[in-house]
């Protein structure tokens, strides 16, 4: 498996996880202005990381597949991942 691809995918996963964590925090702290700022920044970075990854290595979700021929099957299958 491509090492650069792995590290980019891990970055996407880490930033998505950060968004989920801050989402949960904000559910109980809706007036925490600093947390909202951190969340907005994390969401923006997650979106950028996702777009960068998808531009280079293809769609991360089937709904992000928007080209022809169908690019979803070009991703490594679960049994291809080492």
Positions touching other proteins (CB under 8 A) are 10-11, 13-15, 17-18, 21-22, 25, 28-29, 32, 34-35, 38, 42
Residue 4 beta carbon to other proteins: minimum distance, rounded to whole angstroms: 16
**8 closest CA partner among 56, 40, 43:** 56
Residue 46 beta carbon to other proteins: minimum distance, rounded to whole angstroms: 9
Distance of CA 2 to the CA centre of its chain: 18
- Length of the chain (residues): 82
Helices (H) and strands (E) in the chain, counts: 2, 0
Q: Which is nearer to other proteins, 14 or 56 (CB)?
A: 14
Q: Which is nearer to other proteins, 37 or 73 (CB)?
A: 37
């Amino acid at each position: 498996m491509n090492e650069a691809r792995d590290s980019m995918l891990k970055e996407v996963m880490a930033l998505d996880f950060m968004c989920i964590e801050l989402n949960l925090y904000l559910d109980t702290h809706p007036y925490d202005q600093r947390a909202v700022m951190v969340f907005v920044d994390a969401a923006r970075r997650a979106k950028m990381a996702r777009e960068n990854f998808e531009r280079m290595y293809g769609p991360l979700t089937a709904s992000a597949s928007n080209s022809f021929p169908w690019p979803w099957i070009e991703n490594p299958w679960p049994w291809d991942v080492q």
